[in-house]
A and B are shown apart, each in its own frame.
Chain A
């Protein structure tokens, strides 16, 4: 069965600082990997996804993530945090059963001015 572990339920960064949100996965098949963002009282919005090909994936709002098979990781980064990035971020994996998504517990990102 597939699973996702997000290290750190809360991450706090200063505005302009690097954002790093960690995600490790477990999968018995080649995984498809996703990062979603959820703003308060809203649904999930896809930031980026990895399916096949290039392991460095660029998404919306300046975010990117790198698939590292040897480390079973898919960490999310952004060079410079903005106040508008404050939200909850979810890493997810699929591939074992079509596009059925298995989510991590989420990381709340706080951006300090």
Chain B
């Protein structure tokens, strides 16, 4: 069974630029999560989708972050414009539904200069 795929693995941008991350969850998983992991901290949930609907985006900085999962499968997370404090690893995870184990992708390491 293929795992959660993420791309790119690494990204370096200047502040105020835009960036997008892509996630392909495990086939058949209805629930998809995006986490932000800042160096020295545990992952923090940014947004949770159930199919193509948002379940929880309470910790998403909506003035600069956006995410979509239009067909209930792949998802993209966008930052526009990026700030220095957005430097982090962005992890995508998926689960069968809202009550099952989450499986994590390898993450995208973002550096904002």
Q: Say yes or no: is B107 at the interface (Cβ < 8 Å to chain A).
A: yes
A interface residues, tally (CB under 8 Å): 21
Interchain CB contact under 8 A, A105 and B42? yes
Interchain CB contact under 8 A, A99 and B98? yes
Q: Say yes or no: is A92 at the interface (Cβ < 8 Å to chain B).
A: yes
Contact among A44, A97, A99, A105 for B95, CB-based, below 8 A? A99
Q: How far is the CA of A90 from the CA of B100 in the complex (A)?
A: 18
Within the complex, the shortest CB–CB distance from A41 to chain B, in Å, comes to 7
Q: How far is the CA of A101 from the CA of B101 in the complex (A)?
A: 10
Contact among A46, A49, A90 for B42, CB-based, below 8 A? A90
Within the complex, the shortest CB–CB distance from A104 to chain B, in Å, comes to 5
Q: How far is the CA of A98 from the CA of B42 in the complex (A)?
A: 19
Within the complex, the shortest CB–CB distance from A26 to chain B, in Å, comes to 15
Interchain CB contact under 8 A, A103 and B42? yes
Q: Which residues of A sit under 8 angstroms from B107, Cβ to Cβ? A: 41-43
Q: Which residues of B sit under 8 angstroms from A45, Cβ to Cβ? A: 104
Contact among A43, A97, A99, A105 for B104, CB-based, below 8 A? A43
Interchain CB contact under 8 A, A44 and B98? no
Interchain CB contact under 8 A, B106 and A42? yes
Q: Which residues of A sit under 8 angstroms from B16, Cβ to Cβ? A: none
Contact among A41, A46, A103 for B44, CB-based, below 8 A? A103
Interface 1/0s, chain B 49-82, versus A by CB < 8 A? 0000000100000000000000000000000000
In the complex, residue of chain B having the shortest beta-carbon distance to the beta carbon of A6: B42
Q: Which residues of B sit under 8 angstroms from A103, Cβ to Cβ? A: 42-44
Interface centre among A4, A43, A92 (most CB of B within 10 A): A43
Contact among B4, B99, B102 for A101, CB-based, below 8 A? B102
9 A–B contact pairs at CB < 8 A? A36-B104, A45-B104, A90-B43, A97-B56, A99-B99, A100-B48, A100-B56, A103-B42, A105-B40
Which residues of chain B have a CB within 8 Å of any CB of chain A?
A: 4, 9, 31, 40-45, 48, 56, 91, 93, 95, 98-102, 104-107, 109
Question: Which 7 A-B residue pairings sit nearest by Cβ, starting from the closest?
Answer: A103-B42, A43-B104, A98-B98, A44-B104, A43-B106, A103-B43, A43-B105
